[in-house]
Every structure is written in structure tokens, then in C-alpha cells.
Amino acid sequence: MKLIASSPEIPLLSLASGQQVEPAFPLRVDRGQIQQAKGLEVQNLKKRYGNLVAVDDLSFSVNRGEILGLIGPNGAGKSTCILMITGMLKPDAGTLMLDGQAYDPRKPEMRSLLGIVPQELAIYPELTAAQNLRFFGGLYGLRGRRLEQRVQYVLELTGLTDNADSTPSTFSGVMSRRLNFGIALLHEPQFVILDEPTVGIDPQSRSSLLDCVRTLSTHGVGVLYTSHYMEEIEAVCHRVAIIDYGRMLQMGTLDELLDRTRTELCIKVGSLPPAVVTQLRERAIVQTGEDGSNRIVLRERTESHPQVSPRALRSVLDLLAEANVALLGVETNETSLETLFLQLTGRKLRD
């Protein structure tokens, strides 16, 4: 891995103002070398609760300077996986590696290599913002002048300098989220786990936070990022891992996962006579719903500017017109991460 000295030309941005904040990370990673940098490796991780298999032989890696998006429906095993990585839950099987060495998150000196932004706020409402930062900084071994430097840096980064002596009980939800995020960066971790960090924050704060995540990556910090917002995953992640029922479904770059040379046009109709279904299936894909309605899907593949052939569309529409079938709707399905996610995990609602 090629390492380059940190430069003030690559600052972090304040979550509140978007203004530049002096960087505090000692290394940058050459973007072309990300895949060669050893990082956090999860190998064949398993966890069972009675008869429920929460994580089933799960493997993935997060390289230095890489942002890996970990996505899945509710109950897919994301939180259980994170709990095992952070040492809060013991795996039944599997190994964790860091830079090619066995990683034991139960050891404080190794756990300090990680920073975590939990989905639920992990701050003390009775302590001020500065006191929260000093407390958590002390847990990571920061003392004296270095601790105060880091506290001031994070207050500036999160836009909470003017609220340093105020308690989170007086904060808005967005301000509490900023403090939650800043605590994870206090000790300059090598890897950061962000568990749905943008829940409940406004678009401006979300944009600034995503900029901070990108800058963490630029400075060689590996990021494991979970979110239900697919546009965030597409915007910041180098690779994406889709899991469900504790197992890996697909993993790769967006270009590897998404076939951007294919487009779909879906025609929604009611019930269809069997003879018409037979004829349609010679031209398109017919999907029948539980309520008897049908989706007629036309797919085309081309090297550039994907579009459905007008001739194929006309053929289907003429056939429906001859059978006096009314159209209920027409939509195009562009290739997106959300489309792939629903194809792999289904559309059924989960608790």
C-alpha cells in the first residue's frame, strides 16, 4: 500500500457549516491502491440464537480507505454482525482479521482501532457535549493536552463549539446525531462502523456527514456503512454487500452488481385470458400476482442508451387491444441498487 503524508488540502468538513476543518488523520491512501491494502476481514462468521441462525457463514472485508456498504432487510443479520465485530457478542464460529493478524475485539488495545456510530444514540444526556467527549476520550486512553485537542477538534467538526457546555437534553435530534458521530472519531480509529448514521437528520446535515465519510476514506480509514437509504449507499460506497437471513447474497462494486446495459418496461393489466397469456409469453415476461393482476415485462439489452424496442412494445399493445384488455399502468424500471435489493430480498414487509 502506498502511503502519503497528510495534507491540509484534504480537510474534513464541519457537519454544521460545511466549512473546512483542519485534518487530524496522519495518513492518506493512494486511491488506486485501495484493493491492495489489507484491512478488516470477516471470515465464516456464524451466530445462532436457539433455532434461529442470525449470521450464517458470513465473509467480507473492508480495506483501508474503502467504504463498504452493508445492506439487508430488517432481521437480515447486520446488527448481529456488527455486535460480533465490536466484541459485544461472541461468535459461535468464524474469525476476524486486522491487517492480516488475528483480531480480538475484547482486547482494549485492539478495540481502540475501531470507532462505532451506533444506530441508537450512545451519549449521556446529563453530561455536556464537552464532558461527553472527555469521558469517551478517556475510555480510549486520551489524556491531558491531547484529549483537549481532540475534544476541540470534534466540537468544531460537529458544529457544536457554541454548545460545548450544553447538555444533549437541550439539543435537537440532529445535534445529538452529530455528537454521536463525533465521539466515534475522537481516538482517530483505523476503521469506523456507521450503523444508519443519518436516521432523522435534515438533508444539509446528511450531505455534510456523507462528505465527512468520504474524507475519512481519503485519509485511509476503512468504513463499514449500513443504511436503508439506497441513494446514500450508491453515493459513498466503493463496494456493496447485500445480506439476508444471515447469508451473503451478492457483493461487489456497483458496476459489478448492476447491469446498466439493461432496461425494463412494465405494463400493468388485470386478469388475462389463458390464450392471451400464451401469446404474450412469446414476446415478453408475464408475472401474475396473488390478486389475479398481471405485469407484462419487456426487457432489452444494449451496449449504450438502454431502451425498449418500439416494435416490441407495439406488438404487445396491439395484442392487448385486440383482446380488449385495459391498461392499469405503465412504468420503466431503471437499473438501481434498490431494484436489485428488492429482487434479491423480496418485497414482503418485515418487522
Nearest CA to 216 out of 2, 8, 13, 3 is that of 13
What architecture is the 262-335 domain classified under in CATH? 2-Layer Sandwich (3.30)
Run of H or E including 165: none
pLDDT of residue 291: 87
The pLDDT score that the predictor gives to residue 8 is: 33
Phi, psi dihedrals of residue 238, rounded to the nearest 5°:
-75, -40
Any residues with CB less than 8 A from the CB of 174 and at least 6 apart, and which? 200, 201, 202, 205
Q: For 3-257, which CATH class? A: alpha beta
Q: What is the DSSP letter of 323?
A: T
Mean pLDDT of the chain: 85
Return the biggest CA–CA distance within the chain: 83
- Whether the Cβ atoms of residue 242 and residue 72 lie closer than 8 Å to each other: yes
pLDDT band at residue 91 under the 50/70/90 scheme = very high
Domains 3-257 and 262-335 share a fold: no
Tell how far CA 287 is from the center of its chain.
31
Long-range residue pairs from 6-14, CB within 8 A, at least 24 positions apart, any chain: 6/219, 10/215, 10/218, 10/219, 11/215, 12/157, 12/212, 12/215, 13/208, 13/211, 13/212, 13/215, 14/156, 14/157, 14/158, 14/159, 14/208
Residue 13 clears pLDDT 60, i.e. is over it: no
Q: What percent of the chain has pLDDT over 90?
A: 58
What's the Rg (C-alpha) of the chain? Answer: 24
Return the pLDDT at 323: 93
